[in-house]
Structure formats: C-alpha cells, structure tokens
C-alpha cells in the first residue's frame, strides 16, 4: 500500500446504491470500494493487494474468505457475482492482508519488526444490511492492532542501535464482526524488536492491544542497555501511542502519551511514573482543538486551529485570485460575505487548484505558501476527529453549475473541497449540514464550493 488514489465514491458513511439484476446470467459482480485513512507504509491500497471477503446471505454463508484483488479502484474478482434475490440483505466482513488458511480467529504480530512492521498491521471492515447491487459496496477498514512509536532523545555521546519492547503478548483474538482485537488469554509475553523509522530518533512497532507492564530496552553502540517499564500501560485496538524516551548515561526516562483514535493524534495517558522532567521536555506543539497564531494572507487574517496532527484554517478561504472572474470562476456565499466573513467564497475546482491536478501529490492551488488543499485522507481524518470544534465547519451553501440550471444550493449545506478527482468530472469533498456529522462525497468540478487550506 503506497500513494495510490481513490476511484469511486464513499457517500455519507457506509452505504450501497443502485439496483440489481433479476437473472443469474446477468448478475452483477461483487465489488468492494475501500476506504482506509492511513497505513503503516502509506495511505491507500496498492494494485494487486488482496483482502479476504465473507458474505452472509441473511444467516447463511454465501462465500467465505473469498480472495478479492485491488485493481486500482475497487477490490474485485470476475468469479464472484451477487445472488439473484434482490430483497435479501447480506452482511459483508473483510480483512487485510488475505490469508489462504482462512479468516483468522487469531493473529500474531511479528517478533522481529526491524525490517518493517506492515505485515503486522491487520485491518478489518464490516457492513450490515447490504443489498445485491451493480455498484461497489463501500467498506471502511479499521486498524485492529495498536501502533507504538518510540521517540528518542539521546543525550549520550553514543548511538542508539536497537530498541526492544517487552511485557506484552504477541498473539491476539480477533472479532471481525465488530471489528476489534485483544490479547489471547494465557499467552506468554514476548519481546518485539522495533523498526527504525528515522535514524536514531524514531522507532515503531505494531503490538497486540492489551493492558500490562510494558517495558522498553534501549541498546547503544557502546554495548550498554538501559531499560524502563511503564506500569499497566493500556493500548487499545485501532489506536496509536507515542513513547517518549530520554536516554542519559545512567538510565532512560519514559513518557507514554498521544493516544490516537484510528491513528490520528489526540489525548494522553497517565503512566503513574515520576517523569515530570520528561513531561515538560516533550510537551511541545499546539494542543488539539485550540486556536493558534492567525494566518495573514493577501491582507485577510484567518484564525487557525490544530486538529489532530494537522493545522487548518478555521474560516473558509475568501481570496480573489488574479485572472479569475467573480460569478464565473468563484462566487459569493449564498448569504453574502457581509453576513459572516468566515463563510468565505465559493470556488470551482479549476480555480481552487489553480489548474493543477490532485492525482500526483500535494496541491497548493490558491492556498498561501506552506499550505495546501486537503487530500482525501486529510478530509476523512477531519470528518472523524473528536477534536474538531463544534463551530469549525461553516455552511456557506454552494453554487450549482449545469447546462440548464445555475443557482445556489441549500444554504444549510456546505461542501469542503478536496484536491483529488478519482472520478472523471468530480472531485472528492466533505459534505456537512446543520446538525449532522460530515462525510465524504464528491461533486462536479464545475460547482462552486468552500475551500479550507491545511498547513504543510
């Protein structure tokens, strides 16, 4: 899984649309459109990746552990078609990576993750009440293990050569109906050799979710080892944690923090350790959900806010780009800028991106230097973040551009533009309405919608 991009739609949560064929010889193929926010080694699935899919037709199995291959857009296989009962709902469960031995009831993380930890990153997804349709079924894949990142501050004149985690069992019991995972009872604790993510300063491991006395052992180039335990550390399924280490000549100090929901920053954990100095040293950055220094862009001041590990504009962009025309390339919000300047302007995709394509990397577009239009993963993270302020999203309406229909849309609805266009003529965006949770969708690139910039 590397930097591939989505093709298809993931509309308003997990759902299925379309019709079905009544005849078996023309039954539609089963296809899965995946969404996964982030992976150990990248953001998206790679062409050729395989998942194991199980479909229960009512209470009866239709297929079990069927291998589906990612074609760059969806997971598919020409041999798997829907059943011909258009009214019978199904429950779909899927996991990654695929195992020929069957859907795993147990899963073990690798003891030696020194060469990388992707093979220990188990994902699971479930959708209930799906109907046999001719369009892909959207499935959101969750991390089932826990990720631990060890951040090292080495104050000695030697180099860190190895970091090993101990005290935790390496085998999990997996429940894909939720999906979730937890340590298998009675399993002995194992030592896990971590992956060096950044030379000498950052190490990473995938661990089985559990609570226990977690130990960390650091080896330096002079052959010395230094160990420390975190008493009753709790690592939950689908979350990531940071373990900050200060290495001195005599010992190491540790601080466990950064509980992360679905691997996006948030919260902290009390380790009950006497590590006040370490706490002070590592408490850097801007607290989640709090406003930071304002951004001044082309004479306009925008409040900003940290949400998870990203800094966002806290107001919609209202920059008028040179060479673009009001009411042709961009529009005033439905209620007018005078009612609330933070509603910003509405832009079509070509104007917002300044003519760039979002399929090949980060797009600055009309954002200021050091900022960019959010990609799909950043929009998804924003939608799911518990740290997003209640008043963060501003409903500015939208401008509909069609051959026979040019007008404002519902003023109680807002769209936030993304940089990617996986489907021809449509760009990914965040849909939100007054009083509802935001979700990913897509709209025509010709529509006028709101823009927020994210700091690089």
**Is residue 112 scored above 70 in pLDDT?**
yes
User: Which pLDDT belongs to residue 280?
Assistant: 26
What average pLDDT score do residues 146-157 get?
90
User: Which pLDDT belongs to residue 145?
Assistant: 93
Q: pLDDT tens-digit profile of 276-333?
A: 322 222 222 334 444 455 788 888 888 899 898 889 999 999 999 988 999 999 999 9
Fold of 24-142: Immunoglobulin-like (2.60.40)
User: Which pLDDT belongs to residue 293?
Assistant: 58
**Is residue 39 scored above 80 in pLDDT?**
no
**Is residue 11 scored above 70 in pLDDT?**
no
Architecture of the domain delimited by 146-282: Sandwich (2.60)
Q: Residues of the chain with pLDDT > 90: what percent?
A: 46
Query: Taking the model in full, what pTM does it have?
Result: 0.56
User: Which pLDDT belongs to residue 264?
Assistant: 38
* Domain 24-142 identical in fold to domain 146-282: yes
What is the domain partition of the chain in residue ranges?
24-142, 146-282, 291-455
Q: pLDDT tens-digit profile of 163-216?
A: 999 999 999 999 998 889 999 999 999 999 999 988 889 999 999 999 999 999
| pLDDT category of residue 228 using cuts at 50, 70 and 90 | confident
- SS3 sequence of the chain: CCCCCCCCCCCCCCCCCCCCCCCHHHCCEEEEEEECCCCCCCCCCCCCCEEEEEEEECCEEEEEEEEEEECCCCEEEEEEECCCCCCCCEEEEEEECCCCCCCCCEEECCCECCCCCHHHCCEEEEEEEECCCCCCEEEECEECCEEEEEEEEECCCCCEEEEEEEEEECEEEEECCCCEEEECCCCCEEEEECEEEECCCEEEEEECCEEEEEEEEEEECCCCEEEEEEEEEEECCCEEEEEEEEECCCCEEEEEEEEEECCECCCECCCCCCCHHHHHHHCCCCCCCCEEEEEEECCEEEEEEEECCEEEECCCCCCCCCCCCECCCEECCCCCCCCCHHHCCEECHHHHCCCCCCCCCCCCCCCCCCEECCCHHHHHHHHHCCCCCCCCCCCCCCEEEECCEEEECCCCEEEEECCCCCECCEEEEEEEECCCCCEEEEEECCCEEECCCEEC
């Amino acid at each position: 899984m590397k930097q591939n991009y989505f093709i298809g739609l993931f509309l308003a949560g997990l759902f299925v649309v379309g019709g079905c064929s009544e005849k078996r010889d023309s039954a539609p193929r089963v296809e899965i459109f995946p969404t996964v926010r982030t992976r150990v080694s990248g953001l998206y699935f790679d062409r050729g990746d395989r998942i194991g899919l199980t479909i229960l037709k009512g209470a009866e199995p239709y297929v079990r552990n069927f291998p589906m291959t990612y074609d760059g857009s969806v997971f598919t296989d020409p041999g798997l078609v829907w059943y011909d009962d258009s009214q019978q709902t199904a429950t779909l469960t899927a996991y990654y990576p695929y195992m020929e031995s069957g859907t795993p009831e147990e899963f073990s993380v690798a003891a030696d993750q020194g060469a990388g930890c992707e093979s220990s990153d188990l994902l699971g997804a479930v959708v209930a009440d799906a109907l046999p349709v001719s369009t892909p079924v959207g499935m959101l894949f969750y991390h089932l293990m826990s990720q631990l990142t060890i951040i090292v501050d080495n104050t000695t004149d030697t180099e860190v050569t190895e970091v090993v985690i101990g005290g935790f069992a390496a085998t999990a019991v997996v429940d894909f109906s939720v999906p979730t995972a937890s340590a298998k009872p009675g399993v002995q604790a194992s030592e896990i050799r971590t992956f060096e993510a950044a030379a000498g300063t950052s190490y990473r491991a995938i661990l089985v979710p559990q609570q226990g006395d977690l130990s960390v052992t650091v080896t330096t180039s002079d052959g010395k080892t230094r160990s420390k335990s975190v008493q009753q550390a709790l690592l939950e399924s689908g979350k990531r944690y940071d373990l900050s280490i200060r290495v001195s000549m005599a010992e190491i100090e540790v601080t466990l923090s950064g509980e992360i929901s679905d691997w996006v920053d948030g919260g902290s954990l009390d380790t009950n350790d006497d590590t006040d100095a370490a706490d002070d040293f590592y408490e850097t950055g801007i607290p989640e959900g709090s406003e930071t220094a304002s951004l001044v862009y082309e004479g306009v001041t925008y409040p900003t806010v940290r949400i998870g590990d990203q800094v966002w504009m806290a107001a919609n962009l209202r920059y008028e780009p040179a060479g673009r025309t009001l009411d042709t390339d961009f529009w005033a919000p439905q209620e007018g800028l005078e009612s609330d300047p933070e509603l910003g302007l509405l832009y079509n995709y070509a104007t917002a991106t300044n003519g760039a394509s979002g399929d090949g990397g980060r797009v600055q577009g009309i954002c200021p230097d050091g900022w960019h239009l959010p990609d799909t993963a950043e929009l998804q993270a924003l939608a799911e973040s518990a740290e997003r302020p209640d008043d963060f999203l501003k409903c500015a309406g939208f401008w509909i551009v069609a051959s026979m229909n040019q007008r404002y849309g519902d003023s109680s609805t807002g769209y936030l533009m993304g940089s990617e266009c996986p489907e021809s003529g449509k760009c990914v965006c965040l849909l939100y309405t007054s009083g509802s949770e935001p979700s990913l969708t897509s709209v025509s690139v010709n529509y006028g919608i709101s823009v927020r910039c994210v700091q690089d």
